[in-house]
Amino acid sequence: MSIPISTPTPTQTAEQTPSTFASFDLHSRVAAGVTAAGYTKPTPIQQEAIPVVLSGRDLLGLAQTGTGKTAAFVLPMLHGLIDGPRGRVRALVVAPTRELAEQIHQDIRTLGQGTKLRSATVYGGVGMNPQAQALRGGAEIIVACPGRLLDHLERGTGTLRDVDMLVLDEADQMFDMGFLPAVRAIVKRVPDGAQRLLFSATMPSDVRALAEAVLRDPVRVEIGRAAPADTISHALYPVARQQKTELLKHLLRRADTRSALVFTRTKHGAKRLAEQLDRDNFFVASLQGNLSQNKRQKALDGFRSGDVHVLVATDIAARGIDVSRVSHVINYDVPTTAEAYTHRIGRTGRAERSGEALTFVTADDTKAVGTIERALGRLERVTLDSFVYEKETASGEATRSQRHPRPRPQNGGRGAASPKPQQGGSNRGGRAQTGSRAPRRSGRSGERSK
Ligand code: AMP
């Protein structure tokens, strides 16, 4: 079954749409927000989507993260709301994770700072009452995760009867997380006449079915189909399983690794790796689903401000992280799908900044690497002269390539790293490190305890 979709009319194509924000003729107070955000020209998704949304049409946006898609719906949303009634919820954005919801909310605050429109977030893990107040008209815009929002709607502590615009963001991730039934239940409570926008980086059949059910005669805009931004350089780093942490530390000590987001497969793995790095005095925090909302926010704020240099995260927790300065994304564990790979590395190289994406691969990862390379093309394999590699036997046990490895001539290999700290917990902070990005103990990660 195919979705009835109009592609943009000739006047809406990227080549022919105006390439300045001024030509969208946004309300002056919304335009002031664009200036405040420091945006000088629209990104391709903004060029295509903003005129469509301003025209009132439904929209299907196929765009990966990092393309500027949030402003593509926030700007016309603010424009549409600014002259209307206040004190009721008129726009609803549904997003898969708290982090993404917070990020969208912050973008609304930045872009809408001159509009006096109020935005509020609704998600689990924090109190219901302030959210109920926002839903009762304390805000004109609600950015919500599906589960908690549905909770409010079912308890009667919120209504969507005044919603004029509905945005479903990162629909493929909502599907992956099992939220589609909740999303459908939410959509049922939105008035028929509301404008609907759906964004997704990929179009699995369930998301296509959702789009068919929700959107009416949508205009489809597609930007950079699930391909990573071309400001990112990619490479695979073959390594024996038991040497991954050592290689990670080696890479983190390099001068150009300013701000690294490290992905692990499991929550437990993220917690444990962050603890190991913390013991080696890196400024590190972990971001995973077992943490309280407070701790998640603290970790993110620290990473954003630059106090935390290394954030170890799981896929779900990292969804929506928008830290423009992430210099490296390191896949400590290989993602198992090309989509997950794209989403992870979309955390670097954002908004035309350049970034590096490094993926550790072990003998166990052949299948996952094959999947990623089939979708994205062959990736370069990198081995470092400055690192002493061990070989992995078929049984997974390691053998040293040299029984007593000597550091290679380049200093900056094992010689550059600090001696392995004596485990025992005391005397942290006292170890000097060499290199321009000498790791130090953060004292801020706050994630050492559960
Ligand atoms: P998004 O895809 O919405 O997550 O946006 C990715 C990043 O691009 C965010 O840091 C935005 O603030 C930034 N951004 C969005 N639009 C523009 C623009 N027109 N010019 C420069 N940066 C932008």
Q: What is the pLDDT of residues 1-46, one digit of tens each?
A: 333 444 433 333 344 444 799 999 999 999 999 999 999 999 889 9
pLDDT at 16 (0 to 100): 45
User: Would you state the torsion angle of the CA atoms of residues 93, 98, 104, 106, taken in this order, to the nearest 10 degrees?
Assistant: 130
Alpha-carbon distances of 96 from 240, 372, 383, 418, rounded to whole Å: 34, 23, 37, 41
Ligand 1: centre distance to CA 68 (Å): 4
Does 228 score more than 80 pLDDT? Answer: no
Identify the band that residue 424 occupies on the pLDDT scale cut at 50, 70 and 90.
very low
Here the tokens at position 250 are 């080696």
Other beta carbons within 10 Å of 184 = 14
Arithmetic mean of pLDDT, 331-345: 85
Q: pTM for this structure?
A: 0.60
- Per-chain mean pLDDT for the chain: 80
pLDDT at 447 (0 to 100): 25
Q: Which residue's CA is the closest to the ligand 1 atom numbered 11? A: 68
Residue with tokens 């903004």: 46
Three-state helix/strand/coil letters over 1-46: CCCCCECCCHHHCCCCCCCCCHHHCCCHHHHHHHHHHCCCCCCHHH
d(CA 397, CA 393): 5
Which range (155-164, 350-359, 366-375, 396-405) has the least confidence? 396-405
The number of the ligand 1 atom at minimal distance from the alpha carbon of 320 is 4
Identify the band that residue 353 occupies on the pLDDT scale cut at 50, 70 and 90.
low
Expressed in angstroms, the distance from the first to the final Cα of the chain is 47
What pLDDT, in 10s, does the model give residues 86-131?
999 999 999 999 989 999 999 999 999 999 999 999 999 999 999 9
Give the 3-state secondary structure of residue 330: strand
Arithmetic mean of pLDDT, 192-196: 97
Does 377 score more than 60 pLDDT? Answer: yes
- Report the helix count and the strand count for the chain, using DSSP H and E: 15, 15
Closest CA to 277 of 308, 238, 316: 308
Ligand 1: centre distance to CA 324 (Å): 9
| Residue list, ligand 1 pocket, CB within 6 Å | 39, 42-43, 46, 65-71, 322, 324, 350-351
Closest CA to 447 of 302, 310, 284, 237: 284
| DSSP designation for 256 | T
Arithmetic mean of pLDDT, 412-425: 30
Does 355 score more than 90 pLDDT? Answer: no
Ligand 1: centre distance to CA 73 (Å): 12
Q: Name the residue of 17, 34, 43 to mutate for ligand 1: max ligand atoms within 8 A of Cβ.
A: 43
Give the 3-state secondary structure of residue 422: coil
d(CA 389, CA 80): 58
Highest mean pLDDT among 16-25, 74-83, 224-233: 74-83
Q: Which residue's CA is the closest to the ligand 1 atom numbered 5? A: 68
The number of the ligand 1 atom at minimal distance from the alpha carbon of 34 is 19
Ligand 1: centre distance to CA 65 (Å): 9
The pair phi, psi for residue 170, each rounded to 5°, is: 50, 55
| DSSP designation for 271 | H
Identify the band that residue 187 occupies on the pLDDT scale cut at 50, 70 and 90.
very high
pLDDT at 448 (0 to 100): 26
Q: Name the residue of 17, 39, 65, 347 to mutate for ligand 1: max ligand atoms within 8 A of Cβ.
A: 39
Q: Which residue's CA is the closest to the ligand 1 atom numbered 12? A: 68
User: Would you state the torsion angle of the CA atoms of residues 349, 375, 320, 159, taken in this order, to the nearest 10 degrees?
Assistant: 140
What lies within 8 Å, CB to CB, of 187 at 6+ separation is 166, 168, 196, 213, 214
pLDDT at 269 (0 to 100): 94
Ordered domains of the chain (ranges, CATH):
14-223 (3.40.50.300), 232-400 (3.40.50.300)
Identify the band that residue 284 occupies on the pLDDT scale cut at 50, 70 and 90.
very high
Ligand 1: centre distance to CA 351 (Å): 5
The number of the ligand 1 atom at minimal distance from the alpha carbon of 37 is 12
The number of the ligand 1 atom at minimal distance from the alpha carbon of 70 is 3
Ligand 1: centre distance to CA 127 (Å): 30
Q: Name the residue of 107, 350, 352 to mutate for ligand 1: max ligand atoms within 8 A of Cβ.
A: 350
More confident: 203 or 365: 365
